[in-house]
């Protein structure tokens, strides 16, 4: 079995600052958390930015540029910038930072969908910032837009224009078929890094049957032309990615996907989640990939040509 690539999604746009004091929000917090995760064994760092004053997700390339160079100088990990951004951003805003930074890897979401964050409103009594509750509420009526043309544009601008490869975010079976469609059209190049995502309200649920079904389907559609990774939201994170790894997957952890390391126990850092998954996988004789090994398996060029 090949080595497990640990991706760490450091902050994201799903959670809000009132949910955890450990959610990194400022550029220095994001940099420190990313570096800590890499030192703990993450070889891919999936990154969003937040407004340094309020912690609200921001697409501003200037904010990204306050932490990207620091991370690059301090780690050899693959830097993966979101193109999904947040549900309040336009596609143009979502692409601004990746186009400026020209990274090795970017996320690419494989379909338009509902993306419900509003159930979290019921779990928190008070919010520190004015934007938090409306942000969660807005997800009730929002479509996370990723049309075929949007995907074509991202593949063209970042893939052809910058040589960027992609973490293909697939939340359901249809997204795998969409990726296969782009493979047929030769608009994407193997090896495909397929991130199967479970437990987002609007995508497929975190049920074992779904994990195995998506794996079987990806095997059928992509054969040996893909590298499978698993992420699961909230309380499903650790059990589900463990099941994935036992079945041959790489894994994604991070405070973007879950704020916890156990029932009622907030993760004090992203590194804590990286260490936890290592402590589960290594006794099972699953080896963890280094950044160099991740680059080799994903056919990445190395970080020398990035614009930061
Ligand atoms: N928050 C994840 C469920 C992206 O950044 O492109 C999805 C995500 C999207 O990571
Ligand atoms: Zn993300």
pLDDT digits (tens, 9 = 90+) for 38-59: 999 999 999 999 999 999 999 9
> Does the pLDDT value for residue 202 go beyond 90?
yes
Alpha-carbon distances, residue 61 vs 14, 56, 65, 307 (angstroms): 19, 14, 6, 12
> Does the pLDDT value for residue 1 go beyond 80?
no
Query: What is the band of 303 on the pLDDT scale with cuts at 50, 70, 90?
Result: confident
> Does the pLDDT value for residue 139 go beyond 80?
yes
CA of 174 to the centre of ligand 1 (A): 17
Q: Whose CA is nearest to atom 8 of ligand 1?
A: 84
Task: Give the pLDDT of residue 79.
Answer: 98
- Residue in 204, 99, 80, 105 with CA at minimum distance from that of residue 153: 99
Task: Give the pLDDT of residue 305.
Answer: 82
For range 213-224, the mean pLDDT? 98
For range 244-256, the mean pLDDT? 98
Q: What is the C-alpha to C-alpha distance for residues 258 and 2, in angstroms, rounded to an integer?
A: 26
CA of 76 to the centre of ligand 1 (A): 22
List, in order, residues 6 or more apart from 41 with CB less than 8 Å away: 6, 274, 275, 278, 288
CA atoms within 13 A on the CB side of 264: 0
Q: What is the C-alpha to C-alpha distance for residues 261 and 264, in angstroms, rounded to an integer?
A: 8
pTM equals 0.98
| Residue 105 CB less than 6 A away from ligand 1 | no
Query: What is the band of 78 on the pLDDT scale with cuts at 50, 70, 90?
Result: very high
Question: What is the percent of the chain with per-residue pLDDT over 70, rounded to a whole number?
Answer: 100
Task: Give the pLDDT of residue 7.
Answer: 99
Task: Give the pLDDT of residue 289.
Answer: 98
Task: Give the pLDDT of residue 301.
Answer: 86
Across all residues in the chain, what is the average pLDDT? 97
Task: Give the pLDDT of residue 304.
Answer: 83
For range 110-122, the mean pLDDT? 98
Task: Give the pLDDT of residue 14.
Answer: 98
- Residue in 165, 117, 167 with CA at minimum distance from that of residue 144: 117
| Residue 98 CB less than 6 A away from ligand 1 | no
Two tokens at 209? 């049957």
């Amino acid at each position: 079995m090949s080595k497990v690539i640990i991706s760490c999604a450091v902050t994201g746009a799903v959670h809000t600052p009132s949910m955890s004091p450990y959610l990194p929000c400022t550029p220095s917090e994001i940099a420190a958390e990313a570096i800590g995760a890499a030192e703990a064994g993450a070889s891919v760092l999936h990154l969003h930015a937040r407004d340094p004053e309020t912690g609200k997700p921001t697409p501003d390339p200037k904010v990204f540029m306050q932490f990207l160079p620091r991370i690059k100088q301090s780690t050899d990990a693959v830097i993966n910038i979101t193109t999904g951004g947040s549900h309040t951003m336009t596609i143009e805003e979502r692409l601004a930072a990746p186009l400026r930074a020209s990274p090795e890897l970017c996320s690419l979401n494989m379909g338009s969908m509902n993306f419900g964050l509003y159930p979290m409103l019921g779990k928190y009594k008070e919010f520190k910032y004015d934007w938090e509750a409306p942000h969660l509420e807005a997800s009730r009526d929002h479509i996370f837009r990723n049309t075929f043309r949007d995907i074509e544009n991202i593949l063209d601008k970042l893939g052809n224009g910058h040589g960027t490869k992609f973490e293909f975010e697939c939340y359901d079976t249809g997204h795998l078929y969409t990726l296969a469609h782009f493979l047929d059209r030769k608009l994407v190049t193997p090896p495909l890094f397929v991130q199967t995502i479970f437990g987002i309200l609007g995508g497929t649920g975190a049920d074992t049957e779904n994990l195995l079904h998506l794996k079987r389907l990806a095997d059928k559609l992509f054969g040996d032309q893909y590298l499978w990774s698993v992420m699961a939201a909230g309380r499903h994170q650790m059990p589900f990615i463990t099941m994935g790894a036992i079945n041959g997957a790489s894994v994604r952890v991070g405070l973007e996907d879950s704020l916890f390391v156990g029932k009622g126990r907030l993760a004090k850092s992203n590194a804590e989640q990286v260490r936890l998954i290592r402590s589960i996988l290594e006794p099972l004789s699953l080896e963890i990939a280094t950044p160099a090994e991740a680059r080799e398996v994903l056919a990445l060029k190395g970080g020398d040509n990035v614009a930061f």
